[in-house]
């Protein structure tokens, strides 16, 4: 909380010293930070290829260790709204240790109307257990830059997020992870 207040105060001070009119805009009315970063998190997690099927006994270890429930990997997410428009997000997904991943997202939202925002985001994900099969961190990063599948993934996205009068949130967006591009549609019910 103190960091957010400090960062906001510094940004406001810098903007005012440059002669800008500072009027804070609150986009949290459109969607919470969790939903603002969801399209990027899902796009990044989609780029890590599951390898658990190639390792004997991996499925039996997931449940016992608490890494999955009913075969679905446990996920964690934490978001920090640095300003009403800028959100940093960290996330992880457990499951079989070879498929476990950790990542981060930075999302900037621009309110267009009271219930609509444009969200620009960028993120990266890493599956540490897959580094060895891909030849280590350096090799995995090189493969990612070349647009090949690897233990890492980076992406950029632009999403239009809107909230209906019933309180449901929907998104439509475009994204790019290396040489792959996607148009997506999502919603929260």
Q: Residue 46: left (phi > 0), alpha (psi -120 to 50), or beta? A: alpha
160 falls in which pLDDT band (50, 70, 90)? very high
16 falls within a domain: no
**Count of domains forming the chain:** 1
Q: What is the pLDDT of residue 64?
A: 58
To the nearest whole number, what is the mean pLDDT of the chain?
75
* Residue listed under structure tokens 């439509």: 172
Q: Residue 152: left (phi > 0), alpha (psi -120 to 50), or beta? A: beta
Question: Which one, of 56, 46, 58, 52, lies nearest residue 133 by Cα?
Answer: 52
Per-residue pLDDT tens digits for 69-88: 766 777 888 888 888 888 89
43 falls within a domain: yes
4 falls within a domain: no
179 falls within a domain: yes
Full domain range(s) for residue 169: 25-188
13 falls within a domain: no
Judge whether residue 27 has pLDDT over 50. no
């Amino acid at each position: 909380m103190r960091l957010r207040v400090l960062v906001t105060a510094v940004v406001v001070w810098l903007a005012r010293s440059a002669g800008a009119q500072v009027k804070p805009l609150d986009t949290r009315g459109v969607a919470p930070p969790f939903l603002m970063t969801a399209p990027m998190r899902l796009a990044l997690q989609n780029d890590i290829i599951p390898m658990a099927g190639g390792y004997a006994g991996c499925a039996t270890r997931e449940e016992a260790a608490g890494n999955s429930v009913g075969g679905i990997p446990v996920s964690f997410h934490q978001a920090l709204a640095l300003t009403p428009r800028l959100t940093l997000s960290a996330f992880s997904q457990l499951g079989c240790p070879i498929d476990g991943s950790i990542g981060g997202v930075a999302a900037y939202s621009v309110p267009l109307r009271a219930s609509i925002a444009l969200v620009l985001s960028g993120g990266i994900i890493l599956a540490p257990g897959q580094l060895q099969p891909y030849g280590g961190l350096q090799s995995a990063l090189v493969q990612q830059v070349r647009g090949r599948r690897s233990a890492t993934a980076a992406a950029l996205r632009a999403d239009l997020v809107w909230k209906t009068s019933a309180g449901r949130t929907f998104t439509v967006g475009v994204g790019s992870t290396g040489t792959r591009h996607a148009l997506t549609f999502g919603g929260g019910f």
